């Protein structure tokens, strides 16, 4: 069941909300829509709308309409996925936009008034989608019973039920499907497997992808399409006549099939047959009425019900019923080549000057590729660079460019903003402030440093120690690197220089126990802060990772810092995610990495991308401190502005 459907503008005003049960989100904490906006849409993860975002027991799917600045969100129980969510997210935006431009004089400026009567339209769309999905599901079951014969039957059924938009149409459809299945047995069994009952919930993206694939495999898919079309024809004729047309349909089906295997050369024949089918379906009086009532839209939505293979063709079917002699060619042209044509050359320049240019994917692709490359050159992990630019592009497509702005400039601007947003920490970690608060509460503040070998854990720790000492805190260092020989004496050297005690129990001990004992001593002696140094370890070393998780679990440190090198590219992300995952896998507490210390920042010049990779991939773990040299004083705060500037210059 759909728990909530919300249309919200970018300013946060809820323009329409459908929620059958008023109390469904009580006690959930953050409303799923709010969670989606603040955790996904504002964090540069918006590119992959194909997979739902999960908040608690709810799942959200969304659609961005950048031209009018609206977000459509559907919320449902994630344990009960809904088949028709994608259909709904496809059909509602168009309906809402037409509704809304009719209601408001200026379609570009969402006026929150006059749109209250959208409820009816929405419920109608919802009912349609529901019944269609239901029909598709039942058709799928029938198809199973008939061993894959029902691919036509389903298409016809989906069409029937959809065009009618009512459940009462279903019995008819079922009948038709049954007839169809038995009559067209030969035609169906070849491709029945291609249209399993799960297909109707294929996401919109997949359909688009399939559309692209279709261009490559026109002939092969055409076969299915013709079948779908023929199914309708067959059913229509059967509605009135006896079984003889069924035979002829079958024959035609076979002819078609062999032809389709020859692919290219038969497109015209196929087109002709499609057109014929369209005629066929309008032959019977009832179907005529249906066709008139539902025409193109019906076909469109039928696409969704019919699944990938049928769907793609049905698009073309609709264009063929519009009378194009070569529907397949037409369909392709409309999809791919007409847009770029319109936006090249002088016309595009003119549009830029007048500020009427609407950004399309084709415009953004080269610019975004260039920007992604630039990010990669600045050491941003390649997957992060691509995810980021894709997310920025998905936020730009459909927007209208301001006048005198080039696509490149707009894209750069948007990326700059996205980077700033991502790097700006959601929760500011102020070590001094928190240590101060702990001291006032009479507690010991404990910090754990972790990371792989040689990234500078001990050095960073000594710098933090110096900084804390400067601010009047008493510090104890816990030497929990009981693994690497020389680790303890290294810390003792630091401790001597800084005038800080080092708590150690020699090599080979249990790090968790050492840390526990150190904290215990700090409590007894009234020391403010305990800095816990751990052994460097590789993510794949599972015994050591378990030991680390145990240390965290036993001591529940107030701050867990991951030390990462600023030099690394893709590795940094893997390391961070590995540590995080290990703490989740091996630990039972919810404690995890709170922040990142970026070491060796002085050695990277403008290749500051590691910071972006780590923050983005980890979903917003902030960079707390930056190490910039060999001295105790070489520790700095992280400047978002500076890093963004270095990345974008």
Partner 1 sequence: MDWLLFLPKLVAEATPEWILDAPLAMAGLPTTDLCRTYVVAAVMVVVAGQVAYSLRTSSVRRRGSCVVLLGESGTGKTTLFQVAVAGGDSSALRKCHTSMEENRGLLPLEWLNAQSTAGPAAPSARRYTFRAALPVLDLPGHPSLRYKLHQAVSSAAAVVFVVDAVAAADAKVLRVTAEHLFTVMKEPAMVANATPLLVFCNKADVPSACSPLALENALADEISTLIDMHTSRLEDTDGEDPDAAAQAAALAALRPPSARFDFAAVPYTVRFTAGAALTGQGVDDLREFVSHAFAQ
In the complex with partner 1, the residue whose CB is nearer, 56 or 112, is: 112
**CA distances (Å), 224 to each of 270, 317, 330, 493, in order?**
11, 12, 19, 76
* Per-residue contact flags (x/-) with partner 1 for residues 373 to 412, judged by CB under 8 A: ----------------------------------------
Measured distance CA(615)–CA(593) in Å, rounded: 12
C-beta of 628: minimal distance to partner 1 in Å? 7
Cβ–Cβ under 8 Å, residues 84 and 129: yes
CA distance linking residue 408 with residue 394, whole number of Å: 15
Report 626-645 residues binding partner 1 (CB under 8 A). Answer: 626, 628, 635-643
- Map residues 610-629 to x or -, x wherever contact with partner 1 holds by CB under 8 A: ---------------xx-x-
Helical ranges in 471-508 per DSSP H: 487-498
Q: Do 420 and 640 form a contact (C-beta atoms < 8 A)?
A: yes
Angle at 630 between CA 624 and CA 633, to 5 degrees: 60
Binding mask 513-552 for partner 1 (x = CB under 8 A): ----------------------------------------
Print the SS3 string covering 41-61: HHHCCCCCCCCCEEECCEEEE
CB of 347 to partner 1, least distance (A): 30
Q: Which stretch binds partner 1 (CB under 8 A): 47-55, 248-256, 360-368, 415-423?
A: 415-423
CA gap 569, 183 in Å, rounded: 61
430 binds partner 1, rule: CB under 8 A:
yes
Site track 105-124 with partner 1 (rule: CB under 8 A), x = hit: -------xx-----------
Cβ distance to partner 1 smaller for residue 31 or 215: 31
Q: Residue 74 or 135: which CB sits closer to partner 1?
A: 74
Per-residue binder mask for partner 1 (CB under 8 A), 436-465, x = binder:
xx----------------------------
Contact status: 104 vs partner 1 (CB under 8 A)? no
What is the nearest approach in angstroms of partner 1 to the Cβ of residue 64?
10
Question: Which member of 2, 4, 6, 544 binds partner 1 (CB under 8 A)?
Answer: 6
3-state secondary structure of 627: strand
Q: What is the phi-psi region of residue 460: left when phi exceeds 0, alpha when psi lies from -120 to 50, beta otherwise?
A: alpha
- Name the DSSP class of 331: H
Q: Are 51 and 78 in contact (CB under 8 A)?
A: no
Q: Compare residues 75 and 548 and give the one whose CB is closer to partner 1.
A: 75
Write b or e for each residue in 168-192: b if 16 or more Cβ atoms lie within 10 A of its Cβ, otherwise e.
ebbebbbebbbbbbebbeebbeebb
**One of 106, 428, 524, 540 touching partner 1 (CB under 8 A):** 428
Largest CA distance in the chain: 101
Closest distance to partner 1 from the beta carbon of 460 (Å): 13
Number of residues binding to partner 1, judged by CB under 8 A: 50
In Å, how far from its chain's centre is CA 268? 39
Smallest distance, partner 1 to C-beta of residue 374, A: 20
Rounded to the nearest whole angstrom, what is the least distance from the CB of residue 25 to partner 1 in the complex?
12
The phi and psi torsions of 357 (rounded to 5 degrees) equal -80, 125
Rounded Cα–Cα distance for residues 134 and 129 (Å)? 8
Beta-carbon contacts of 617 under 8 Å, excluding residues fewer than 6 positions away, are 381, 383, 384, 573, 576, 577
- Of 43 and 191, the one with the shorter C-beta distance to partner 1 is 43
Restricting to residues 43-82, which ones interact with partner 1 according to CB under 8 A?
Answer: 43, 69, 71
Q: Which is nearer to partner 1, 17 or 182 (CB)?
A: 17
Among 177, 304, 407, 422, binds partner 1 (CB under 8 A): 422
609-617 vs 407-423: helix axis angle to the nearest 10?
70
Find the binder of partner 1 among 108, 240, 254, 421 (CB under 8 A): 421
Instruction: Considering only residues 254 through 293, tell me which ones interact with partner 1, judged by CB under 8 A.
Output: none
487/608 with CB nearer partner 1: 608
Neighbouring residues of 608: CB distance < 8 A, sequence distance ≥ 6: 378, 379, 566, 601, 643, 646, 647
Strand partners for 61: 74
Is 426 a binding residue for partner 1 by CB under 8 A? The answer is yes
Give min distance, CB of 129 to partner 1, in A.
Answer: 23
What mask of x and - would describe binding to partner 1 in positions 8 to 47, judged by CB under 8 A? x-xxxxxx-x-------------x-xx--xx--xxx----
Secondary structure E strands in 278-405: none
Which residues bind to partner 1, rule: CB under 8 A?
A: 6, 8, 10-15, 17, 31, 33-34, 37-38, 41-43, 69, 71, 112-113, 420-422, 424-428, 430, 432-433, 436-437, 467, 470-471, 601, 625-626, 628, 635-643
């Amino acid at each position: 069941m759909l728990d909530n459907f919300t249309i919200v503008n970018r300013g946060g005003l809820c323009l329409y909300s459908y929620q059958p049960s008023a109390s469904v989100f009580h006690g959930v904490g953050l409303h799923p829509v709010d969670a989606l906006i603040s955790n996904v849409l504002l964090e540069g993860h918006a590119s992959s709308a194909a997979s739902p975002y999960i908040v608690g027991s709810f799942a959200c799917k969304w659609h961005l309409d950048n031209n009018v600045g609206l977000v459509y969100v559907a919320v449902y129980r994630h344990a009960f996925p809904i088949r028709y969510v994608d259909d709904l997210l496809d059909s509602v935006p168009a309906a809402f936009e037409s509704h809304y431009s009719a209601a408001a004089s200026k379609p570009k400026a969402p006026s929150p008034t006059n749109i209250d009567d959208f409820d009816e339209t929405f419920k109608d769309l919802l009912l349609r989608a529901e019944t269609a999905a239901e029909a598709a599901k039942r058709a799928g079951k029938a198809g199973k019973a008939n061993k894959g014969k029902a691919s036509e039957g389903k298409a016809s059924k989906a069409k029937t039920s959809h065009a009618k938009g009512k459940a009462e149409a279903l019995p008819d459809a079922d009948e038709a499907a049954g007839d169809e299945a038995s009559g067209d047995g030969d035609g169906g069994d070849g491709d029945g497997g291609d249209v399993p009952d799960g297909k109707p919930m294929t996401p919109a993206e997949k359909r688009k992808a399939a559309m692209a694939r279709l261009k490559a495999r026109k002939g092969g898919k055409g076969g299915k399409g013709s079948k779908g079309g023929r199914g309708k024809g067959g059913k229509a004729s059967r509605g009135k006549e006896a079984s003889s047309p069924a035979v002829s349909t079958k024959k035609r089906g076979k002819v078609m099939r062999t032809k389709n295997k020859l692919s290219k050369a038969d497109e015209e024949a196929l087109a002709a047959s499609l057109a014929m089918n369209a005629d066929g379906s309008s032959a019977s009086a009832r179907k005529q009425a249906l066709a008139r009532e539902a025409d193109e839209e019906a076909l469109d939505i039928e696409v969704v019900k019919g699944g990938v293979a049928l769907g793609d063709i049905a698009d073309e079917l609709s264009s063929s019923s519009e009378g194009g002699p070569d529907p397949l060619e037409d369909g392709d042209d409309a999809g791919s080549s007409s847009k770029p044509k319109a936006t090249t050359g002088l016309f595009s320049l003119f549009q830029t000057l007048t500020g009427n240019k609407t950004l399309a994917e084709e415009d953004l692709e080269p610019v975004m590729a260039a920007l992604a490359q630039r990010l990669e050159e600045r050491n941003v992990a390649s997957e992060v660079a691509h995810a980021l630019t894709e997310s920025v592009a998905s936020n730009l497509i459909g927007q209208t460019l301001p006048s005198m702005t080039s696509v490149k400039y707009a894209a750069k601007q948007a990326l700059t903003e996205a980077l700033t947003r991502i790097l700006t920490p959601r929760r500011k970690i102020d070590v001094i402030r928190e240590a101060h608060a702990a001291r006032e509460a009479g507690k010991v503040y404990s910090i754990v440093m972790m990371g792989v070998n040689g990234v500078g854990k001990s050095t960073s720790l000594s710098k933090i120690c110096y900084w804390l000492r400067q601010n009047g805190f008493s510090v104890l260092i816990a030497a929990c690197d009981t693994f690497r020989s020389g680790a303890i004496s290294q810390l003792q050297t630091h401790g001597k220089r800084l005038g800080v005690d080092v708590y150690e129990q020699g090599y080979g001990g249990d790090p968790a126990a050492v840390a526990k004992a150190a904290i215990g001593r700090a409590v007894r002696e009234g020391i403010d802060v305990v800095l816990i140094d751990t052994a460097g370890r590789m993510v794949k070393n599972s015994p050591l990772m378990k030991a680390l998780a145990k240390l965290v679990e036993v001591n529940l440190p107030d701050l867990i810092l991951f030390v990462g090198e600023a030099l690394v590219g893709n590795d940094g992300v893997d390391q961070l995610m590995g540590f995080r995952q290990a703490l989740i896998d091996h630990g039972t507490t919810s404690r995890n990495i709170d922040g990142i210390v970026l070491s060796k920042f002085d050695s990277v010049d403008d290749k500051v991308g590691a910071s972006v990779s780590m923050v983005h991939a980890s979903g917003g773990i902030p960079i707390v401190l930056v190490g910039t040299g060999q001295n105790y004083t070489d520790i700095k705060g992280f400047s978002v502005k500076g890093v963004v500037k270095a990345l974008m210059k």
